[in-house]
Structure formats: C-alpha cells, structure tokens
Amino acid sequence: MIRLSRLADYGVVLMTHIAGDAERPCAAHAVAAATRIPEPTVSKVLKALSRHGLLESHRGVNGGYTLARAPSEISVTEIIAAVDGPIAMTECLDADGGACSLETFCPTRGSWLKINNAIRQALDEISLADMIAPTLLFPPPAAPGERRRLIS
Amino acid sequence: MIRLSRLADYGVVLMTHIAGDAERPCAAHAVAAATRIPEPTVSKVLKALSRHGLLESHRGVNGGYTLARAPSEISVTEIIAAVDGPIAMTECLDADGGACSLETFCPTRGSWLKINNAIRQALDEISLADMIAPTLLFPPPAAPGERRRLIS
DNA sequence: GCGAATGAGGACCGCTACAGTCCTGTATGT
DNA sequence: ACATACAGGACTGTAGCGGTCCTCATTCGC
C-alpha cells in the first residue's frame, strides 16, 4: 500500500554496510560486490548520499566512502530523503489546486498533514545505529533487492 | 520519499465524501461530479472499496454506495489497503531471498518490521471520522488529484 | 610527471506498473 | 419492460523508476 522505492531501500542497505565497515573508505565496487547490488546502481545511490552530506567521499586510489556522521546521528528519514528526494511535494503546493477546491474544500488535507507527521516521526526515531543493531532475531533474511518493499 | 498511490488518495477522498452524505446511497456518477474525479476511475475505486467491505452497494434505480460501518470504525489503513492492495508484500516473502542472504544477512530486516509497525500504527489511529472533522484550520486547499501525494 | 584508481555528474533507455477507459453482464426499482 | 446503476473484467497509454554507460575531475603510487 505504501511503498518505499527500491533505490531508497538500497540506500539503507548500503549505509548499514558502510557503517559496519568502520573507518576505512569503502569503494563503490567493493560495496556492490558485498551487497550483490549492481555496481552502477550502487555508485548512483552512493553519489546521492554523499551529495546530501550523509557520506564523505574520498577520491583517488584507495578512495571510497565513509560515514559523514556517527550512525546514531543519521536517521532513516535522511537516507530515504537523500535517495528519493522530496519529489511530488511541490506538486501539491504549486499545482493548480483549483480542480478540487471548487466543490470540496478538501477537508482531508489537515488529516494528511497529521498522518505525515506521525510517519515522519516514526522514521525519525530510527537511526542507522538501530538498523545495525542485532535485531535480527527474526526468521529468514529478506532479499534487499526485491521489487518493492511494503511499508504498511 | 514515501508515496501514496493516486488511487488510494482518491479512495480516502471518496470515502469522506460519502461519509458526509449520510445515509442516502451515493451513485458513482454523483460522487464523481462532486469530487471532480473522472467517473470511470471513481467507479473503479468504489468497486474496490465495496469489495473489501468498506462500502455497501445498492443496485438498481436510486442505488449507490453507503458506508458499511460508522466513520469512526473505518481506519485510513483499511481504505488504502482496499484500493492499493497488499501488493509487493509477497515478493519479499516468496521471492528467492538468496541473492542477499548469501553474504549479508540483511540485518535491516528487523528494523524494517519495526518501522512498518510504527507507520501502520500511526495510520490505524486515524479513522475516517477524524478525516471529516474540521481540522482544516490549514491554509490553502490541496488538489486531491495531483500526481502523487507525499507522505513523509 | 605519469598513469591507475576512484568518485562526480550527467545522458540515455527499456520496462513495469499505475491510472484511466470501455464493454458486457447483472440486479433492482418504477 | 425499461431505465438505472453496480460488477467485473479487458485493454491501453504513459510517466517514472531502475539500470547502464560515458566523460571529466581528483588523488595517490610509482
């Protein structure tokens, strides 16, 4: 029903992997090999993450990516936002808005904001450190690259 | 970042409209005219909602749809689930799952479940009645039919 | 200084799934 | 009997996502 884009999912997986590899810079191809995610895609996601200040990049030989902050200081929200970006948000604001407002004053808007906040808060409370923590008392591992991960 | 499908959005808007029109059955074309959503689409969404027990349908002349339950007994989660369906959920379960589990044991899985629950809970707590309530102390009305409504 | 390694940034493209439409059948009330 | 309205499915166009590739900039080792 509510879905997370595949790339955003990748983003979280990649971040957790880099967080697990401590201080040494992780090259894109190394992370790709470890996570089994196609390398060009990994590169794309990592670039987005570094552009948004979640990763630091180091060029040249033995370069790669390192976390820009401590895992506990990075929320899942940030990761998702960095990869997927705040698309569509503007469409609701700068769009015509007249097609609906004419008859119905869209009373649902206020509630949507409430829902938005609730979800955002739930995501904000989970940091990258929480993702690394061994919460995997859970049965079978899921593929990180299935089509789309259901959220709710 | 996390998006709601357009049809699910429609679902909520349509439900609130029908809830506002009390006991009288609302014909699909009437709801379409009121909400400015194309009629075939309205029909499609209403059919889905009734198939999932959120609406009751009445055929024949003067037929239409009525709420199956009180607005306070219908959660937003149900509406979204009825329209969008639990797609992709299975992909995570019945998929190969081996592409990832080989090297990384996908430690993120446990956290995802936690996030899922948090979001689900946030949505469950909001009923259709809450959506109708005059929470619209908010500035401008949003179009109900923009491309996609951002959630977080 | 030169070359290899690696990230940066964009262009491009196929495919899937969503959104929308239409058609035929069925039920109900006048 | 007929008009109205829902039921259920088939069909289709398309936007956006996921993925690939290419070129340039930067850094390190030799």
Q: How do the domains of chain B map onto residue ranges?
A: 6-132
Instruction: Return the closest-CA partner of residue B20 out of A103, A1, A92.
Output: A103
**Which segment of B3-12, B25-34, B117-126 scores lowest on mean pLDDT?**
B117-126
> Do A17 and A51 contact (CB within 8 A), yes or no?
no
Question: For B64-82, how does the pLDDT look when each residue is reduced to its tens digit (9 = 90+)?
Answer: 999 999 999 999 889 988 9
Q: Token pair for residue A7?
A: 């790339």
Give tens-digit pLDDT for B78-136. Answer: 998 899 876 443 344 434 443 444 344 555 566 677 777 777 777 788 888 888 766 44
For residue B4, pLDDT beyond 90: no
pLDDT (0 to 100) of residue A106:
58
Report the C-alpha gap between B65 and B17 in whole angstroms.
11
- Out of B77, B96, B149, the one facing A143 most closely (by C-beta) is B96
In this predicted structure, the answer to whether residue A99 has a pLDDT above a threshold of 50 is no
**Contact assessment for residue B9 and residue B79, using Cβ atoms and an 8 Å cutoff:** no
Distance from CA of B140 to the nearest CA of A (A): 8
- Reduced to 3 states (helix: H, G, I; strand: E, B; else coil), residue A16 is helix
Whether pLDDT at A117 is above 60: yes
C-alpha–C-alpha distance, residues B43 and B38, integer Å: 9
**Residue A87 CB in 7 A reach of strand D:** yes
Contact call for residues A112 and A92 (beta carbons, < 8 A): no
3-state DSSP: chain B helix, strand, coil percent, rounded to 5? 55, 10, 35
Which has the closest alpha carbon to A152: B149, B16, B2? B2
Distance between CA atoms of B75 and B54, rounded to whole angstroms? 10
Where residue A124 falls among pLDDT bands split at 50, 70, 90? confident
How close, in Å, is residue B14 to chain A by CA atoms? Answer: 10
User: Number of A:B CB contacts under 8 A?
Assistant: 262
**pLDDT over 60 (residue A96):** no
What residues of B are in contact with residue A75 (Cβ under 8 Å)? none
pLDDT at B27: 92
**CATH for the stretch B6-132:** 1.10.10.10
B-interface mutation test, from A108, A114, A126, most B Cβ less than 10 A away:
A108
Alpha helices (H) in B21-133, listed in sequence order: 28-35, 39-51, 76-84, 89-94, 98-101, 108-124, 128-132
Averaged pLDDT for residues B41-60: 93
| Protein residue nearest nucleotide D21, by CA to C1' | A40
Give A92's contacts in chain B (Cβ within 8 Å).
142-143, 146, 149-150
User: What is the DSSP code (8-state) at residue A25?
Assistant: P
Q: How many CA atoms lie within 13 A of B19 on its CB side?
A: 24
Of A101, A134, A142, the CB nearest to B97: A142
The footprint of strand C (CB < 7 Å) covers A 25-29, 43-44, 46-47, 50-51, 57-65, 147; B 5-8, 10, 38-41, 43-44, 58-63, 87, 145, 148
pTM, to two decimals: 0.79
